[in-house]
């Protein structure tokens, strides 16, 4: 796509706003020219005076001019009106209101309503009569041919990584001194040893096969590491070549190297051999065969998983191995994508047949209150589990003679992976037969008053492990009123609600956090409103908060949601039409949470074109509001206590807003949707810029832009809109002021 295809239309430049006096109240700013007529702060270059506007007209003031008197048309003005109900323009991102002073509708564009939650595609904008338009994608190029410049969605930031084409961790030697002398070969690097007799300069020292070169150990079938008893062994892939083939291997094939061990079984009854290979982080895979060098004799093969305690591991189990009459030696291939030691834990176990309870039709019956154990090493995937386990599953069944509450408890015996439990109905096999599922370090799947009948439990995991599961039944109880969306109790706006999620079940299937228990509340909006939902979750928990349509029947009813383990969770939605909605609070562990729905009548956003110093602070009214600006056009005036050290005086470019409180208030500040790594610093006046309020400086890393929830005494405060480490760009600030 060319730059012409991605460049957003440039708004008109509003020159006559420059006469606005410093400290002009927001209400006056809005009535003087309306926030929609200010220059769009998300476009850095509005173009020269008189430049043609792609939306129509030419550059210059917009201010509601009349074409008949030489002014420019105001795209925000609509038809005649007497009240707000006559002003719906069917454009979702505009704030529609009747401007009584001129008896005409005004359709103020609201860029915040267009944000799609994707960082790398840039900041979207709202155009009158057109709706939401894409913004320019985030430009990450630093102009250096030696860096790979990437926009990383997960972190919400650009990265500039030194060129490393072969992915071996050593930058190209053309870009740095003593770098990689062959950036096409991941087995050549200054960090690697010289390998003997291969005719290459493996360590990039300018010499080939020099005297201190390394020879691989256990690199061929003729030199295996002999393992003839259970225990822990170390095998090293340093200097090894890639010699062997198997049905599984490491992901980075050009970097693959392998070594071989011989698993020696004594003559006698058959044994099961379970082998776990662990590394400090290198990708690893292992394969057990009947004959070295013959891939057709493969017995089993396993790729790597991330271990909950760090590093990576692969686990396999060979069943019923050995010969009653003679000693048996079975080759074990160990693959890695780096020169690394690999710890092999080898166990000789009594033979167990391959589990037969792989399908719903062969599910193993269980007894209530009695733990059962599932070895998830070579289980197949047979049923659809919405919690997305990484292993296959084994199936179990139980009967309820009468209605009962059911708990399914599960945990990992060896700690190698967290369990995933799926409770399923009598039909069992199809995805729609799943009643609920959950994956967590400690699982408690709970259902109120399950009717009499047959049920199934599918046991899976996030990595090969042994899962202990227990099904417990209790006398039936009815769900609490807030457990379903139908008849959900009211949530009072601007008041924090404590939510007890103990012994709750997963009733609401909106797709935000599958498997989490939930509570639902009715949020009634008498008029079109700006809604900010904030949920605080317990330490160590993972939660979600969702705004949804009343039906709550499926993911199509979800309007917006946020899920994660970083508290508080928060979601904001502008200009939500009047009506009833549902707020759903979720928790994986069923721990207590707090939910607040901040609600106010929708008003157009206030554009902050200047506010670059104490002389032109923009004051926020005590009713709060929604503000947007762009620090890329500002100067670096103020330091901040939570900024990175070692930067220039003043840090990043910044802007300054003011707030005067006559009473003690709870002040919530949310910069969600902003287009850079934000920094928000609250200072106490009365003198500008004031003194930093303790614990009131917040950096907005990644997608979680700056957020503060403060209780402030009466007085004058200054809000410093800044950036971490000299970052700057377009920003939004939602200010909620309520009673503490």
Give the C-alpha separation, 91 to 110, whole Å.
11
Of 168, 169, 145, 148, which Cα lies nearest the Cα of 159? 148
Query: To 5 degrees, how large is the angle CA 618–CA 671–CA 126?
Result: 85
The reported pLDDT for the residue numbered 156 is 80
H helix or E strand, kind and range, residue 167 = none
Question: Hunting for tokens 């957003």 — which residue is that?
Answer: 8
Greater model confidence, 30 or 449: 449
Q: Which helix (H) or strand (E) holds 400?
A: strand 394-400
pLDDT tens figures, 192-230: 888 888 888 988 988 998 888 888 899 999 999 999 999
pTM of the model: 0.76
Average pLDDT over residues 586-610: 94
Cβ atoms 506, 421 nearer than 8 A: no
By the 8 A CB rule, do 147 and 158 touch? no
Q: Are strands 305-306 and 125-127 parallel, antiparallel or unpaired?
A: unpaired
Percentage of the chain lying above the pLDDT 90 cut: 72
Q: What is the pLDDT of residues 248-291, one digit of tens each?
A: 999 999 999 999 999 999 999 999 999 999 999 999 999 999 99
SS3 of 4, please? Answer: helix
pLDDT value, residue 245: 94
338-341 contact pairs (CB < 8 A, 24+): 338/237, 338/255, 338/282, 338/283, 339/192, 339/193, 339/236, 339/237, 339/238, 339/239, 339/240, 339/257, 340/236, 340/237, 340/238, 340/279, 340/280, 340/282, 341/234, 341/235, 341/236, 341/279
Band of the pLDDT at 45, cuts 50, 70, 90? very low
Q: Is the pLDDT of residue 40 over 80?
A: no
Lowest mean pLDDT among 11-25, 88-102, 122-136, 335-349: 11-25
Closest CA to 408 of 422, 394, 418, 395: 422
Q: Which residue has the tokens 């065969």?
A: 289
The CA distance from 201 to 401, in Å, is: 74
Residue 195: the pLDDT is: 87
CA angle (339, 333, 198) in 5-degree steps:
50
Q: Which residue has the tokens 């927001």?
A: 26
Q: Is 68 exposed, middle or buried (0-12, 13-18, 19+ CB in 10 A)?
A: exposed
pLDDT of residue 202: 87
Structural Rg of the chain based on CA atoms? 32
Res. 174: pLDDT tops 50: yes
Residue 700 reports pLDDT greater than 80: yes
Least confident of 69-73, 307-311, 315-319, 691-695: 69-73
User: Quick count: other Cβ atoms within 10 Å of Cβ 415?
Assistant: 14
- What's the CA gap between 272 and 267, in Å, rounded? 14
What are the residues facing 94 on neighbouring strands?
109
Q: What is the mean pLDDT of residues 121-128?
A: 90
Is the pLDDT at 99 greater than 80, yes or no?
yes
The angle at the Cα of 194, spanning 190 to 195, to the nearest 5 degrees, equals: 140
Sign of the CA dihedral 444, 445, 448, 450?
negative
How confident is the prediction for the chain on average, in pLDDT? Answer: 88
**Strand intervals (E) in 567-723:** 569-576, 579-587, 593-601, 606-608, 618-620, 625-630, 655-661, 665-670, 678-684, 691-700, 707-712, 715-723
Span 372-418, pLDDT tens digits: 999 999 999 999 899 999 999 999 999 999 999 999 999 999 999 99
- Nearest CA to 435 out of 483, 385, 391 is that of 385
Provide the 3-class DSSP secondary structure of residue 308.
coil
> Does the structure show a pLDDT above 80 at 241?
yes
What is the average pLDDT across 303-327?
95
**What's the rounded mean pLDDT across residues 667-672?**
96
pLDDT bin (cut points 50, 70, 90) of residue 435 is very high
The answer to whether residue 73 scores a pLDDT higher than 90 is no
Per-residue tokens: 168: 């071996």
What is the predicted pLDDT for the residue at 158?
A: 87
Per-residue confidence at 703, pLDDT binned at 50, 70, 90?
confident
* Res 280: pLDDT: 95
Taking the C-alpha atoms of 169, 170, 175 and 181 in order, what is their torsion angle to the nearest 10 degrees? -140
Q: Which residues contact 571 (CB under 8 A, 6 or more apart)?
A: 532, 533, 545, 546, 547, 560, 561, 562, 672
The conformation of residue 598, written as its DSSP 8-state character, comes to E
**DSSP classification of residue 195:** B
Region 586-611: what's the mean pLDDT? Answer: 94
Q: What is the pLDDT of residues 472-513, one digit of tens each?
A: 999 999 888 999 999 999 999 999 999 999 888 998 989 899
User: With 60 as the cut, is the pLDDT of residue 70 above it?
Assistant: no
Q: Comparing 256-270, 458-472, 695-709, which segment has the lowest mean pLDDT?
A: 695-709
Owner of token pair 């009548």: 601
Q: What is the C-alpha separation between 36 and 388, in angstroms, rounded?
A: 45
């Amino acid at each position: 796509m060319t730059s012409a295809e991605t460049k957003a239309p440039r708004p008109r430049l509003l020159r006559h706003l420059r006469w606005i006096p410093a400290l002009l109240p927001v209400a006056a700013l809005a009535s003087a020219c309306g926030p929609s007529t200010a220059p769009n702060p998300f476009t850095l270059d509005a173009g020269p005076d008189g430049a043609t506007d792609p939306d129509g007209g030419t550059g210059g003031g917009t201010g509601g001019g009349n074409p008949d008197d030489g002014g420019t048309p105001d795209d925000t003005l609509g038809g005649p009106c007497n009240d707000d109900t006559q002003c719906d323009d069917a454009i979702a991102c505009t704030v529609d209101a009747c401007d009584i002073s001129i008896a005409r509708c005004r359709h103020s564009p609201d860029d915040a309503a267009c944000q799609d939650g994707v960082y790398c595609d840039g900041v979207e904008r709202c155009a009158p009569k057109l709706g939401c338009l894409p913004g320019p994608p985030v430009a990450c190029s630093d102009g250096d041919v030696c860096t790979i410049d990437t926009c990383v969605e997960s972190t919400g930031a650009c990265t500039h990584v030194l060129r490393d084409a072969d992915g071996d961790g050593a930058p190209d030697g053309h870009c740095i001194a003593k770098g990689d002398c062959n950036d096409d070969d991941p087995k050549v690097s200054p960090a690697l040893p010289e390998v003997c007799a291969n005719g290459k300069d493996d360590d990039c020292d300018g010499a080939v096969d020099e005297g201190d070169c390394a020879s691989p150990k256990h690199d061929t079938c003729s030199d295996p590491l002999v393992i003839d008893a259970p225990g822990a062994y170390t095998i090293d892939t340093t200097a090894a070549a890639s010699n062997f083939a198997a049905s599984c291997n490491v992901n980075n094939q050009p970097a693959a190297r392998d070594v071989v061990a011989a698993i020696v079984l004594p003559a006698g009854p058959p044994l099961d051999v379970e082998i776990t290979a662990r590394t400090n982080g290198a990708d690893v895979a292992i394969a057990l065969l009947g004959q070295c060098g013959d891939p057709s004799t493969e017995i089993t093969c396993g790729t790597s998983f991330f271990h909950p305690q760090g590093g990576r591991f692969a686990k396999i189990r060979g069943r019923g191995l050995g010969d009653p009459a003679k000693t048996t030696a079975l080759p074990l291939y160990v693959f890695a994508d780096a020169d690394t030691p690999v710890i092999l834990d080898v166990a000789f176990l009594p033979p167990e047949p391959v589990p037969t309870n792989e399908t719903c039709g062969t599910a193993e019956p269980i007894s209530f209150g009695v733990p059962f154990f599932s070895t998830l090493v070579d289980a197949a995937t047979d049923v659809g589990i919405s919690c997305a386990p990484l292993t296959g599953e084994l199936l179990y069944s139980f009967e309820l003679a009468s209605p009962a509450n059911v708990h399914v408890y599960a945990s990992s015996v060896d700690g190698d992976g967290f369990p995933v439990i799926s409770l399923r109905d009598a039909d069992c096999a199809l995805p729609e037969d799943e009643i609920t599922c959950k994956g967590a370090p400690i699982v408690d799947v709970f259902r109120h008053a399950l009717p009499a009948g047959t049920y199934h439990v599918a046991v899976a995991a996030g990595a090969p492990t042994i899962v202990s599961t227990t099904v417990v039944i209790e006398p039936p109880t009815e769900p609490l009123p807030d457990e379903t969306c139908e008849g959900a109790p009211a949530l009072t706006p601007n008041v924090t609600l404590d939510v007890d999620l103990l012994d709750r079940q997963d009733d609401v299937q909106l797709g935000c956090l599958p498997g989490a228990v939930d509570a639902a509340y009715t949020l009634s909006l008498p008029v079109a409103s700006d809604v900010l939902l904030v949920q605080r979750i317990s330490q160590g928990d993972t939660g979600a908060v969702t705004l949804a349509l009343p039906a709550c029947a499926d993911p199509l009813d979800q309007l917006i949601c946020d899920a994660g383990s970083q508290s508080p969770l928060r979601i904001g939605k502008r200009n939500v039409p009047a009506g009833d909605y549902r707020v759903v609070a979720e928790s994986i562990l069923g721990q207590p949470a707090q939910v607040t729905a901040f609600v106010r009548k929708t008003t157009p956003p206030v554009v902050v074109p200047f506010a670059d110093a104490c002389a032109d602070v923009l004051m926020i009214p005590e009713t709060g509001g929604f503000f947007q600006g762009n620090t890329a056009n500002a100067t670096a005036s103020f330091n901040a206590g939570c900024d990175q050290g070692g930067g220039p005086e003043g840090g990043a470019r910044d802007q300054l807003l003011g707030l005067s409180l006559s009473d003690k208030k709870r002040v919530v500040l949310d910069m969600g949707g902003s287009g850079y790594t934000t920094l928000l610093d609250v200072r106490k006046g009365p003198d500008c810029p004031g003194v930093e309020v303790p614990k009131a400086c917040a950096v907005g890393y990644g997608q979680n832009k700056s957020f503060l929830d403060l209780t402030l005494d009466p007085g004058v405060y200054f809000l410093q809109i800044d950036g971490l480490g000299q970052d700057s760009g377009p920003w939004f600030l939602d200010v909620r002021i309520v009673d503490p």
